[in-house]
Amino acid sequence: MKDQFIVSGGARLEGTVKVDGAKNSVLKLMAASLLAEGTTTLTNCPEILDVPLMKKVLEGLGCEVVIEGSEVRITTPAQPQSNADFDAVRQFRASVCVLGPLTSRCGHAKVALPGGDAIGSRPLDMHQTGLEKLGATTRIEHGAVVAEATHLRGANIRLDFPSVGATENILTAAVLAEGETVLHNAAREPEIVDLCTMLKSMGADIEGEGSSVVTIRGVDKLQPTQHEVIGDRIVAGTWAYAAAMTQGDITVGGISPRHLHLPLEKLKSAGAELETYENGFRVRMDQRPQAVDYQTLPFPGFPTDLQPMAIGISAIADGTTVITENVFESRFRFVDEMLRLGADAQVDGHHVVVRGKERLSSTHVWSSDIRAGAGLVLSALCADETTTVHDVFHIDRGYPNFVENLQRLGATIERTQEEELF
CA-CA distance, 200 to 222, in Å (whole number)? 9
What would you report as the CA-atom Rg of the chain, rounded to the nearest whole angstrom? 21
305 labeled part of a ligand binding site? yes
Annotated binding residue at 93? Answer: yes
The reply, when asked if residue 327 is annotated as ligand binding, is yes
Q: Which residues contact 146 (CB under 8 A, 6 or more apart)?
A: 108, 109, 110, 138, 139, 140
Helix or strand holding residue 383 (H, E): none
Q: Is 75 helix (H, G, I), strand (E, B) or coil?
A: strand
Active site annotation includes 117 = yes
Q: Is 266 annotated as a binding residue?
A: no
Q: Is 344 annotated as a binding residue?
A: no
For 111-157, the DSSP string reads EEPP---SS-----HHHHHHHHHTT-EEEEETTEEEEE-S--B--EE
Contact 202, 223 (CB under 8 A): yes
Residues 6+ apart with CB under 8 A from 230: 21, 22, 25, 44, 190, 191, 193, 194, 256, 259
The SS3 assignment for 171 reads helix
Phi, psi of 397 (to 5 degrees): -75, -20
The answer to whether 170 and 181 have CB atoms below 8 angstroms apart is: yes
84 SS3 class: strand
Q: Which of 50, 85, 87, 117 is catalytic?
A: 117
> How many helical (H) and strand (E) elements, i.e. helices and strands, does the chain have?
14, 24
- 414 three-class SS: strand
CA torsion 282→286→292→294, rounded to 10°? Answer: 30
In the chain the first and final C-alpha atoms are separated, in Å, by: 15
Are residues 291 and 318 in contact, defined by beta-carbon separation less than 8 angstroms?
Answer: yes
In the annotated binding site for UDP-N-acetyl-alpha-D-glucosamine, the residues are: 93, 305, 327
Catalytic residues: 117
In the annotated binding site, the residues are: 23-24, 93, 305, 327
